[in-house]
Amino acid sequence: TFDHIESKASPTRSRGCPNNSTRDRPELESTRTREIERLKAIAAMPGKAADDAAGCSRCTFPLEKPVSDIRRNLLEWYDRHQRELPWRQGTSVDGQPIAAPSAHGTTNNTRAYAVWVSEVMLQQTQVATVVRFYTKWMSKWPTVAALAAASLEQVNEVWAGLGYYSRARRLHEGAVHVMEKLAGHIPQSMVELQKLPGIGPYTAAAIASIAFGEVTGLVDGNVIRVLTRLRAITAEVNSSSATAKHLWALSNRLIDPSRPGDFNQAVMELGATVCHPKKPLCHECPVRANCNAQNLAAQATESTTADNGCAMCAFDPDSPLDIESFPVKRAKKKSTEHCYVALVVESQNAFLMTQRQKGGLLAGMWEFPNLEISGESEVADGLRRAAATVGPSISDHAFHAHGTVEHVFSHRRHTYHVFSHRDERLSPCREASEADEGEAVRRWLTAAEIGQAAVPTNMKKVFRACTGEAPTKRATKRRKTKAANVMSISKYFKKEEQGS
């Protein structure tokens, strides 16, 4: 039941915002309604149900004091040590700063949008990398309306280099959905946020708690590491739905109802800056007194031994685990190997590019013509077939070899055998060509345009193999100077011909 909520509910507020009296009945009722919706959503969502999550007293938080201690100590630490990041400070839009969540748990649309963008970018990407891309993104599209009005091509161009390009496509789709279906209003609850394209439980919980003050926990990689160490959870975190349910239950148990957004960010901050995967800074941890992973030796001698019937925290005393053993993960599958012939074709200082299909890996991105082959033994035949796709008059013997380039995606390892050719007779068309059925759209780009276009990192590596330097976006005078000294493919061939 949800009968207990009214007695325990308190208005949500953020640090720096005035608290509201719990005697304010409309405010309390609003908080109660949101809490009921949240708990119903948790019960209904796979991998998040709290009531049926496994766990014993050793790997849960049955007592209130440890919970209150963790909340207090972690938030005090966060207030002193949080990093200054642009999505926390708010982004200025037309001179107006983004507001922090108010005492009523609401905020303006721009604040929610900023959190949404940052959380999507931070998935699978380091904070230091995201800061640069986030700043550029928000300066170009400071509101959800601005993003929705952009083309996917423009979005891919700004995202190029950040990786996992499907995130950009889903973010754009979500913005279009908000403008066309929701009159431009981003949903305020975790339940409704998950109805947007590309938003799952974690991103929905982050936006709802940080931007709107909804009292809901969240689970990401940093949170998993902190929680599994706090409770010494030995169950594999990447292969069991029961473990996922348990972690969501722990996160929702710990969430501070007065500062849910700050608390979620504090847990993630702890995982990112103190509770490292390797060599964690345990002496700096504000919740080390509540960390079971610190006391594994003592646990092994307690009456609740390894064989306590708990699927979450059972361990073998004869095979002790140290703190770096958490979280326990099933070994990843090896990346699949893929081999390609890639062609860099130049004519009149422009390079031939083709556009990938709209679905799948690197959807809609621009790349140099390439052809997948079964292995190194097929390079010669692959070059012949790839050359034929560029133009019937081009012989594979006209291409120069530049060795191989490797690029690793999350689940694939690509090896490119790189070849280049310069032919002034090709008369490149500067506009994207109409493609026949089954053929890729073609476009000719200069080196500078390649640096600006939606060209993925693997193709920039291919380009570097031919020129000795990657295309630059020439954002500063210093970069322009550097780019001016880069040898073009035309000069490369001239030098090669002179030396031969």
Instruction: Characterize 123-162 residue by residue with b for buried, 16 or more Cβ atoms within 10 angstroms of its Cβ, and e for exposed.
Output: eeeeeeebbebbeebbeebbbbeebbebebeebbbbbbbb
Query: Terminus-to-terminus CA distance in the chain, angstroms?
Result: 84
CA pair distance 273, 222, nearest whole angstrom = 10
Q: Crossing angle of helices 260-273/221-230, nearest 10°?
A: 80
Q: What share of the chain is helix, strand, coil (3-state, %, to 5)?
A: 45, 10, 45
Residues 6+ apart with CB under 8 A from 365: 156, 160, 165, 355, 356, 454, 455, 456, 459
Between CA 445 and CA 429 the distance in angstroms is: 9
Sequential DSSP letters for 133-168: HHHHHHHH--SHHHHHHS-HHHHHHHHTTSS-THHH
Residue with tokens 């062609």: 343
CA–CA gap between residue 115 and residue 88 (Å, rounded): 8
List residues bridging with 279 in a β-sheet.
none
Which tokens hold the place of 275? Answer: 């509770």
Residues involved in catalysis:
119
Calculate the alpha carbon distances from 183 to 175, 178, 200 in Å: 11, 7, 21
Give the separation between CA 345 and CA 408, rounded to whole angstroms.
24
- The answer to whether 347 and 424 are in contact (CB under 8 A) is yes
Distances (CA, A) of 337 to 356, 368, 414: 20, 20, 6
DSSP state string for 459-479 = HHHHHHHHHSS------SHHH
For residue 343, the SS3 value is strand
Classify residue 19 by its DSSP letter: -
Instruction: Compute the chain's Rg from CA coordinates.
Output: 27
Distances (CA, A) of 301 to 179, 235, 306, 320: 59, 20, 9, 12
Looking only at the bridges linking them, the beta strands covering 412-422 and 336-347 are parallel
